[in-house]
Amino acid sequence: MIPAVLPTYARNDLTFERGEGAYLFATNGKKYLDFASGVAVTALGHAHPRLVKALTDQAQKLWHCSNLFQIAGQHKLAERFVRASFADTAFFCNSAHLVEIPVDRLQRLVPRPHAGDAGGGGQ
């Protein structure tokens, strides 16, 4: 019989019970530096007091709102990203798959040189 959790990974026999900053604490009592945070989307670390407060405050107001509507604070955050980066605009989504759609559409709008074209231009 297949287990309740689909076996998509070769899981290590290690269970974490909490995190603190860049560290994870396992049920075996050991402390580990979290080198896998990119996989788990926790690049901000674990349980930072300011992050916990910000998430708690937001969760008490609004958990999720579609990009079909105006989202309080989103424009301000996008402006901060733009000022701090190379970008002219920001795109907010919840998965890499959602990024592929506008990238594909933008690529169709940007003229690309043909192979052997010295000056560029053309589709």
Q: Assess if residue 122 is contained within a domain.
A: no
Cβ neighbours for 31, distance < 8 A, ≥ 6 positions apart: 23, 24, 25
Q: Assess if residue 120 is contained within a domain.
A: no
pTM for this structure?
0.53
pLDDT tens figures, 7-62: 877 888 899 999 888 888 999 999 999 877 655 556 678 888 998 999 899 889 88
What range defines the domain where residue 37 resides?
1-46
Answer yes or no: do 106 and 75 share one domain: yes
Number of domains, the chain? 2
Q: Assess if residue 86 is contained within a domain.
A: yes
Q: Assess if residue 8 is contained within a domain.
A: yes
Q: Mean pLDDT over all residues of the chain?
A: 80
Question: How distant, in Å, are the alpha carbons of 27, 46, 106, 107 from that of 115?
Answer: 58, 48, 20, 16
Q: Assess if residue 101 is contained within a domain.
A: yes
Tell which phi-psi region holds residue 34, choosing left (phi > 0), alpha (psi between -120 and 50) or beta: beta
Answer yes or no: do 12 and 37 share one domain: yes
